[in-house]
Copies of this chain bind each other. A is one copy, B any other.
Amino acid sequence: MADVARLAGVSSQTVSRVANGLSNVETATRERVLSAMGTVGYFPNSAARALKTGRFKSIGVIMFTLSSFGNMRTLDAIATASAQAGYSITLIPVTLPTQGAVAGAFNRLSEQAVDGVVIIIEAHVLDRADITVPPGLPVVIIDSDAGSRYAVVDTDQATGPREATQHLLDLGHRTVWHVAGPDGSYSAWRRTESWRATLADAGIEAPPVLVGDWSTESGYQHGVTLRERDDVTAVFAANDQMALGIMRAMHEVGRDIPASFSIVGFDDTEESGSFWPPLTTIRQHFGEVGRLCIEKLLHEIDTMTNEIGTTIVPTELIVRKSTGPVPA
């Protein structure tokens, strides 16, 4: 910067004004500074700027694993929305979902060069008294029940499973089995509860829950169990990957879908419509979640307020070919 100032024959102050696009610089001076910047190859040093202004123009994202369809889509939307607002994204990965690892990530948060944080950790960790977000740091949480203490953006996890279950009941199935997400996942828990409530409303006792881990493989394992039973005609899987695994198990023994077996998934991934048969599922709007998230967070950052409360993003039932009337 000093070089630029010397070359342009102005003070470093004026250079700063030009760099920030302030108006009170004469056009001729501005030109001179700009060209000096060019020849010197000047770029503002973000550390110095951040030190002075206290703003980093960056948003931190805490997440366990990127390798889940939903997280990735959400992150994509977050990155896009942030970029539009001139913020970059700092990834703060938490390798292990252990208590210590999460606490560590939260503690390191304060020394991170970020103006605010989005937390995508599908677990009840924020309920723990020993894990707290540093005070004064704007935060938005995705898929959490912490709406009473933080700003939360959440997908509606109740309506979708209800629609899925009801859709199957309407087709004449006597009951609907459920392959759930892992213990400890808040989303998984709510999908299970909604499925159970829907059956209860229909006066049906819920069959035992089969607990998976979101993976295709765990879906397949449960599918192998389910295919042995003639009385299982309909399943609601807590995500599309497990649904895919279940369908594979059915195909292996020649059980036709949907003639002898119906299944509904959850997520609606890019591929779900091309599974065989194309999967009936609940579409989540991950992009919308990410967008709203950043909108909220930027507002918090600008106003330095804490926007407590939950924003709900709805889902949609997408009926394809994996569901049909109960077999005769």
Q: Which residues of A contact B (CB under 8 A)?
A: 43-48, 50-51, 56, 58, 65-67, 72-73, 75-76, 79-80, 83, 88-93, 95, 110-113, 134, 215-217, 219-220, 241, 244-245, 247-248, 251, 270-271, 273-278
Contact = CB atoms under 8 A, between A and B. Distances in A.
Contacts of A48: 47, 51
Taken together, the copies of this chain in the complex come to: 2
A90 B93 contact: no
B72 A67 contact: yes
Nearest to A107: B43
A46 B79 contact: no
Contacts of A270: 67, 215-216, 241
Given A47-B51, A95-B80, A113-B46, A216 B274 contact: yes
B273 A276 contact: no
B93 A79 contact: yes
Nearest to A247: B276
Contacts of A58: 90, 113
Contacts of A80: 93, 95
A197 B18 CA distance: 55
Contacts of A110: 43
A87 to B, nearest CB: 10
In the A-B complex, the 10 residue pairs with the smallest Cβ-Cβ separation, listed nearest first, are A47-B50, A43-B110, A89-B91, A66-B76, A47-B51, A216-B274, A46-B113, A79-B93, A248-B274, A43-B111
